[in-house]
Amino acid sequence: MSIILAIIILGIIIFLHELGHFMTAKYYKMPVLEFAIGMGPKLFTKRIGETDYSIRMLPLGGFVNIAGMQPEENPEDEVPGGFYTKPAFSRFVVLIAGVMMNFLTSIIAIFILISMTGVVPLKYIEPVIGTIQESSRAKDFLQPGDRITEINGAKISNWKDLQEEILKINGTEKKYNDEDIPVKISRNGKEMSDNVKLTYSKETESYILGIQVQSPKLSFLKKIKISVYSFAEYFKMMVHGLKMLITGKVSAKEITGPVGLPKFVGEAYKTGGGLALINIFIILSINIGLMNLLPIPALDGGRLLFVIPEFIGIKVNKKIEEKIHMVGMMLLLLLMAFIIFNDVTKYF
């Protein structure tokens, strides 16, 4: 089951990525010879018009074969309407469309997750009290529906501010020692203030106010805004992880590849069910999009490096470009072999 789920998730992500290339190539009237999901020998093929739609044996990739991407020996042999006959802008859009499709579908998946769970980043939750714990030492002053505006002299505009201020009060150098904490609230439009004491929580091993958030009511536009914000947070996190990997702060052995992915997916599904699978889809989709953006020959980002100079009139010899991409492809295959070997030794 874990293997099947991993293949389905990867298959959907790869399909959407290649669909981005395919749709934009068709839009610019580039002849598409094949739209393939997977690599290796063909398992299924159906021709519609000029295009073969195929599923291949190894579910580790996919491709859109656009006619004219390989430079011909003689210019007169170029495919009419082929990739290299199109303007630089058209080729740029086709190359970046796969990555953009991954990012767009990630945002849509985040939107679905928020709609299903109601869970949103603390930054977007107003500091309004939903419930108060019976054990809370602040319950004589605070009431459900109160909006906390200030705590310990710090202005509070969202639940994240409140959480960070409580963490500061707990502190690492000077720990909370049963002091009175000044709190300001807004209740029915009236400003009120009082001193309260924090309550020790065995669960978190820290001092807390003992209040819980009021479930936020989110409009359609607010959900979209939060989805884009959450995507940006995911993206920053992955860029940071990639930077740590490149600088050697994280070992290459920590990378999980296609062999280790089913184990990761299976464990997540056991604990979180379908919602966990949506989260994995989001992480993998952004990851695959980010990796394809890297300026490595044979990847979308590497190909974009040769298109962008054309906007300012600099053209690179196409035969030289293709040779560079072939070297890049060989290096990518070696990297994939290393990741698979790493997975096998790590998990088996």
How far apart are alpha carbons 235 and 232 in whole angstroms?
Answer: 5
User: Which of 18, 34, 150, 321 is labelled catalytic?
Assistant: 18
Q: Which residues pair with 200 in a beta bridge?
A: 207
The DSSP code for 294 is S
Contact 212, 261 (CB under 8 A): no
Known catalytic membership, residue 18: yes
Contact 341, 119 (CB under 8 A): no
DSSP 225-262: HHHHHHHHHHHHHHHHHHHHHHTTSS-GGG---TTTHH
Q: Which of 100, 103, 65, 95 has its CA nearest to residue 299?
A: 95
In order of 46, 246, 306, the CA distances from 200 in angstroms are 65, 42, 60
How far apart are alpha carbons 283 and 235 in whole angstroms?
Answer: 9
Cα dihedral 149, 150, 154, 159, rounded to 10, equals -50
Contact 128, 146 (CB under 8 A): yes
Residues tagged active-site: 18
